[in-house]
Amino acid sequence: MFRTRARLSDGREIVYYDERPGRVPVPDPRGLPPAEPLSETRRDPLTGDPVTITAHRNARTFLPPAEECPLCPGRPASEIPDPGYDVAVFENRFPSYAAAAPPVPATVDGVPLFERARGAGRCEVVCFTDDHGTALARLPVPRVRTVVDAWADRTAELSAVPGIEQVYVFENRGVEIGVTLHHPHGQIYGYPFVAPRTRQMLATAAAHGGDLFGDVLAAERAGPRVVHAGEHWTAYVPAAARWPVEVHLTPHRHVPDLAALDAPERDELAAVYRDLLRRLDALYGTPLPYVAGWHQAPVREGRDLLRLHLELFSVRRAPDKIKYLAGSESGMAAWINDVPPEDAAARLRAVTAG
């Protein structure tokens, strides 16, 4: 993998990850003004969870026609000036968190109970390919390996940025999920806090008193919900799956994040992950809407407690039905799943990853 850095016309960074050397970046001709993100976090006094307020993101690009896609290379309005690329990563033009977020008062309405902070951090867009009409599942394995290396490199780099407490790598796919661009891409968030879900997992792992993630993996590998078992990775439907389609992908070795994976683990991950995505698309014979999120340990705590793992899920519960988060899930976080995890695993094992 060959990394090349450049700057867009408004000062945002873009990084190219190529499979061959020799890139000379093309200057961005757009002459954009510097971005002025308005981002802040407020603490919910009832739960302690941070809530991010981003007034500027209502103006972000929303499902443009293919000929106006900002992730296709070399076009007048493209975020990527070069005429082609393998994998490209750039700072989001409409970030949820940014180093340039302005200062805010320490409280809302002057009430100490309502804590407030500026939304410092970083948000990046990861373009998996310059081919608008494909998907991560249809890329060759070497390209998926380049994507994995880019994820790992960005994780290491963002983890070194002052103020970033956790790095979250994820992909939203499908209009049912809420994507705003169809071009194959994912995102990376550098949070200025440890995410609520991670806080909960760390507390549970600490109370367990041993290697919680290792114990869960061992139990799942011995059970009926394994979808794929490899030398370094196992994919399984968790025993307490929340979603009608949900798969976790976990390394056999304890590593805190993507940057800690060695070369054999990355090689196998590229092949296993592509196979898993193809199985998902084959499940109903149509591209499956999904969220794929890499849970990584925080930068400064819990790195011996939380093991890197992927949680991939879909809102589609049948070929023509969507699971909507209604009163119990949205209001109380009390999940109800209509599909037994054992049935979901059997169906995923049975399909052919074409």
Out of 182, 185, 228, 252, pick the active-site residue.
Answer: 185
Among candidates 83, 87, 214, which has minimal Cα distance to 154? 87
Residue 178: what pLDDT?
Answer: 86
Provide the β-strand partners of residue 295. 309
Judge whether 161 and 122 are in contact, CB under 8 Å.
yes
Q: Residue 63's pLDDT is what?
A: 83
pLDDT by residue, tens only, the chain of 354 residues: 999 999 999 999 999 999 999 999 999 999 999 988 999 999 999 999 999 999 888 777 788 988 899 999 999 889 999 999 999 999 999 999 999 999 999 999 999 999 999 999 999 999 999 999 999 999 999 999 999 999 999 999 999 999 999 999 999 999 998 898 999 999 999 999 999 999 999 999 999 999 999 999 999 999 999 999 999 999 999 999 999 999 999 999 999 999 999 999 999 999 999 999 999 999 999 999 999 999 999 999 999 999 999 999 999 999 999 999 889 999 999 999 999 999 999 999 999 766
Is 185 an annotated catalytic residue?
yes
139-172 pLDDT, tens per residue? 999 999 999 999 999 999 999 999 999 999 999 9
Which residues have C-beta within 8 Å of that of residue 105, sequence separation ≥ 6? 116
192 in Cβ contact with 159 (< 8 Å):
no
Rounded CA-CA distance 296/239 in Å is 21
Sketch out the chain's domains with CATH numbers: 197-350 (3.30.428.10)
Q: Are 101 and 37 in contact (CB under 8 A)?
A: yes
* Nearest CA among 65, 37, 41, 59 for reference residue 51: 41
pLDDT at 354: 66
Task: Determine the Cα–Cα distance for residues 208 and 214; give it in Å rounded to an integer.
Answer: 11
pLDDT for the residue numbered 352: 79
Question: What is the Cβ-side half-sphere exposure of residue 122, based on CA atoms within 13 angstroms?
Answer: 25
Residue 329 — φ and ψ, nearest 5°?
-75, -55
What pLDDT, on the 0 to 100 scale, is given for residue 245? Answer: 97
Q: Is 183 helix (H, G, I), strand (E, B) or coil?
A: coil
